[in-house]
Amino acid sequence: MSIDITSIRAQFPVLNQQVNGFPLVYLDNAATTHNPQAVIDASTDYYSRLNSNIHRGTHFLSREATAAHEAARETIAKQFNAAHSHEIIFTSGTTDSINLVSTILTFSGKIKAGDRVLVSGLEHHSNIVPWQMLCEHTGAELDVIPITDSGEWDLSEIDTLLTEKTKIVAVSHISNALGTVNPIEKIISKAKALGALTLIDGAQSAAHMKIDVQAMGADFYVFSGHKCYAPTGIGVLWGREEILNELPPYKGGGEMIERCSFEKTTYNVLPFKYEAGTPNIEGAIALARAFDWINEIGIEAIAEHEQKLLDLATDAISHIDNVQLYGTAKEKATVLSFNIKGIHHYDLGTLIDQMGVAVRTGHHCCQPLMARFGTTGTVRASFAVYNTEDDVHALIKAIKKAAMMLA
């Protein structure tokens, strides 16, 4: 499999610009990806032709907008092989999706003092803090899977961390700070055997590998549109039908009711029960278009391309003096996290940006993980379908030059 990188890049208007006098090299894809013209067109088309509130309207535009919004849900359901399209709940992103699940579990009364919640040591703050909040409200306690020097889960003590007391296991599929692809299957099957729910933070996996939520076996899978070549402000919670049916709603408002009176309000069916208020209609439509676009290229071909770039960059950077890599797991995807000994990550990142190369510096919303590695942050380069070998060369050249200037 190979992809036509020139034609792909030409579809991203944002890439066609100079930054600080250099052609932009965008390597901050783990933070957000860009939108191809097809997705921008889907957004524009919605506002130019369809803009209208959905679901309750009898007029033409409302019917058309409703149909497009619900077709988007079907597309996402198919993409992730959900058993039912009403298992796809549109949210504003990963953070929103995780907070939805942690809050409805809190509201449910199913989590009690003494119960345990399990996360891993490499989670993003958005897969830590909502669980700490749940613990604060319920009296449950948080357990954490430790991380090895190579940036992988240390599962040697898993039998004491994951027990019948564990009510939910919430872990990421791919680490945004290290790129580690976590062995989620192991933990899902173990959690299942013990009766614990499982949530997979798919923010870094949804656009980088084929996901089949039924085969995965978890109860919830969440991701953000803006990391999948779609706009910000749209995201997805996939949840197993019987669990979502059983749990209470979270936000109250329009659309989520079946009948509302001052005496008693009853709730709508899935997915509307969890979609109070006017949703991000354009975002959902653009997200579906983004996955169609991904499929036109082929997600396996994209993954192969990104892996090639990651391998090339990993090899090249290992020849730079005093470089320290974070995350050296066997199975990795798209993320290269590093420091140069004696140089602050922020200084390194700032100089690299001055050479037109966009990387991220800092803790990547993973302060506990950074603490585990004894650093306040790293420099992170992350790849997407539109990156090239030239981008890798530009990165390496910029690192070398910056390191020399800062030495």
Ligand X SMILES: *Cc1c(COP(=O)(O)O)cnc(C)c1O
The catalytic site residues sit at: 365
Nearest to 171 by CA among 206, 127, 134, 209: 127
Does 334 bind ligand X (CB under 6 A)? Our answer is no
- What's at 139, amino acid-wise? G
- Cα–Cα distance for residue pair 182/288, rounded to 1 Å: 26
Does 166 bind ligand X (CB under 6 A)? Our answer is no
Does 249 bind ligand X (CB under 6 A)? Our answer is no
Quick one: which of 126, 180, 361, 382 contacts ligand X (CB under 6 A)?
Answer: 126
Contact between 219 and 197 (Cβ < 8 Å): yes
Quick one: which of 93, 151, 327, 377 contacts ligand X (CB under 6 A)?
Answer: 93
Does 99 bind ligand X (CB under 6 A)? Our answer is no
Question: In 10 A of CB 28, how many CB atoms?
Answer: 17
Does 124 bind ligand X (CB under 6 A)? Our answer is yes
**In the complex with ligand X, which residue's Cβ is closer, 271 or 283?**
283
Token reading at 289:
């278009």
Site for ligand X in 146-165 (CB under 6 A): none
Does 172 bind ligand X (CB under 6 A)? Our answer is yes
**In the complex with ligand X, which residue's Cβ is closer, 127 or 166?**
127
Tell whether omega for the bond before 279 is within 30 degrees of 0, i.e. cis: no
**In the complex with ligand X, which residue's Cβ is closer, 134 or 355?**
134
Contact between 129 and 159 (Cβ < 8 Å): no
Q: Is residue 360 within a helix (H) or strand (E), and if so which, with residue range?
A: strand 360-362
Helix 94-108 and helix 129-138, axial crossing angle in degrees, nearest 10: 10
Per CB under 6 A, the segment of 41-49, 78-86, 91-99, 247-255 that binds ligand X is: 91-99
Contact between 342 and 295 (Cβ < 8 Å): no
State the distance between the two ends of the chain, measured CA to CA, in whole angstroms: 42
Does 34 bind ligand X (CB under 6 A)? Our answer is no
Name the β-bridge partners of 90.
236
Per CB under 6 A, the segment of 80-88, 124-132, 192-200, 245-253 that binds ligand X is: 124-132
Quick one: which of 203, 384, 392, 398 contacts ligand X (CB under 6 A)?
Answer: 203
Q: How many residues bind ligand X (CB under 6 A)?
A: 14
Token reading at 29:
């894809």
Shortest Cβ 15–ligand X spacing (Å): 21
CA angle 47, 52, 57 (to 5 degrees): 160
Quick one: which of 201, 219, 282, 391 contacts ligand X (CB under 6 A)?
Answer: 201
- Cα–Cα distance for residue pair 68/66, rounded to 1 Å: 5
Binding mask 215-244 for ligand X (x = CB under 6 A): ---------x-x------------------
Does 378 bind ligand X (CB under 6 A)? Our answer is no
Query: Given the rule CB under 6 A, which residues bind ligand X?
Result: 30, 93-95, 124, 126-127, 172, 176, 201, 203-204, 224, 226
